[in-house]
Amino acid sequence: MSRADADTADQAVRRSSYIPGLDGIRAIAFLLVFWAHALPDVSYYIPATLGVTIFFFLSGYLITTLLRRELEGTGTIVLRDFYLRRVLRIFLPLYVVYALAAAYAHFVQHDSMGNLSGFFSMLFYYYNYAMALGVKAWVPLGMNVIWSLSVEEHFYILFPLLYLALVRSRLAKATQTRLLIGFCLLELAWRFFLVTTHHNQHLWTYYATDARLDSILWGSVLALTHNPVFSRSNGGTDRSILPIRHTTLAFAGCVLLLLATLVPRSFLYRESLRYTVQALALYGIFSFVIPNIQHPSVAWLEWKPLRYLGWISYVLYLSHDFILNVLTRIWPHRFALTGSLSFALAIAFATLLRYTLELPLQRLRGRLRHTPAEPRLPQQPSQIL
């Protein structure tokens, strides 16, 4: 790629809704979750929570980048349309998968559901707190994954209001950033307090929004402060957090740091500091990947099969555990068979829903965007929304 071509690509990245490398990261996050669920022995060494944390950080970064683009492009943020876009993006695929799982529970398992507490906790996105409190809120087989959607939905509701308030406060961007970092550190302190004073609070530190929101907010900090999409090479003002002369070495260090977070088994560390260290490692990884997608160390993230998994990752995440549980009941203890077959069926189902439901909704969401129409990079399937 010539320097002129690279400059053109950089400008297109800033103007378009596609950000290179992130579909591949989405795919990796899903694969971590899937194989931890499919192979129980693997989950001890590579827990599904790492994939969830990557999804959280990614959501914070993408949503904040979207809000920032809208603000810089139009001078305001239309909250009504933002929330409508979120509804169109999240609700219908979730309800379709939930309905299928509930139908299986009713007609095959003959499960009467007991009560509607689980349904309402899903419908109104407080299932994570039901889990944190140990409340027996019934959900269909394989639908426990919706706890993380509850955390993200709370972020979608609250953060745009906070961001708009910060913008209207006319505080310097550095001050806004310090406030967000302060909130992240406050959550770390809260987890530490829970673990050291209430030793049985591991469910709360894992599931509750007030204990996990910082994993998303660190992505927001990156989007507001050191965002590669708004870097100086793209005509913006943001500087990279990584050192200029040793960028690749710093990236390698961040990858090693992320992997190292899986080693300590201390309960105190795992339920408090782990999520913060992982977020800081992801901060550096994202800072390198997005502007350096042509670099040999990360170019594989644009491999088409990997990008495709990232493209359909939302429905994959929603449906994989349901499919896996159904097949495991048919072939118990045959993990290789049920894992491989579940993976294939989840891809087929997610592809079906992508083309019949998600893409039509995506076109509808496009009408609710308020950023100026700009050229997009060619042949890129994934968008921020």
As a whole number of angstroms, the distance between CA 38 and CA 40 comes to: 6
Q: Which DSSP helix (H) or strand (E) runs through 133? A: none
As a whole number of angstroms, the distance between CA 319 and CA 295 comes to: 34
3-class SS of residue 231: strand
Which of 203, 149, 120 lies closest to 317 in space, CA to CA? 149
Which of 30, 29, 36, 24 lies closest to 339 in space, CA to CA? 36
Tell me if 282 sits within 8 A of 218, measured CB to CB. Answer: yes
State which residues of the chain have pLDDT below 50: 1-14, 373-385
As a whole number of angstroms, the distance between CA 176 and CA 167 comes to: 8
pLDDT, tens only, 69-92: 999 888 889 999 999 999 999 999
As a whole number of angstroms, the distance between CA 310 and CA 51 comes to: 13
DSSP code at position 285? H
The token pair at 196 is 């050291």
As a whole number of angstroms, the distance between CA 221 and CA 68 comes to: 12
DSSP code at position 373? P
Phi, psi at 367, each rounded to 5°:
-75, -15
Residues of the chain with pLDDT > 70: what percent? 90
Give pTM, 2 decimals.
Answer: 0.91
| Every domain of the chain and the residues it spans | 19-366
As a whole number of angstroms, the distance between CA 146 and CA 102 comes to: 14
Tell me if 306 sits within 8 A of 272, measured CB to CB. Answer: no
The token pair at 309 is 């998994």
The identity of residue 145, as a single letter, is: V
As a whole number of angstroms, the distance between CA 302 and CA 377 comes to: 13
Give me the torsion for CA of 230, 81, 219, 351, rounded to 10°.
-100
Q: Which DSSP helix (H) or strand (E) runs through 310? A: helix 304-311
As a whole number of angstroms, the distance between CA 285 and CA 7 comes to: 22
- DSSP codes, 29-89: HHHHHHHHHH-HHHHTTS-HHHHHHHHHHHHHHHHHHHHHHHHHHHSS--HHHHHHHHHHH
Q: Which DSSP helix (H) or strand (E) runs through 164? A: helix 146-168
As a whole number of angstroms, the distance between CA 356 and CA 199 comes to: 47
The token pair at 195 is 């673990």
**Distance linking the first and last C-alpha atoms of the chain:** 28
**Computed over its alpha carbons, how large is the radius of gyration of the chain?**
21
The identity of residue 83, as a single letter, is: Y
pLDDT, tens only, 23-33: 999 999 999 99
3-class SS of residue 106: helix
The token pair at 239 is 């500087």
Classify the C-alpha dihedral 41-45-48-51 as positive or negative: negative
The token pair at 291 is 């502007």
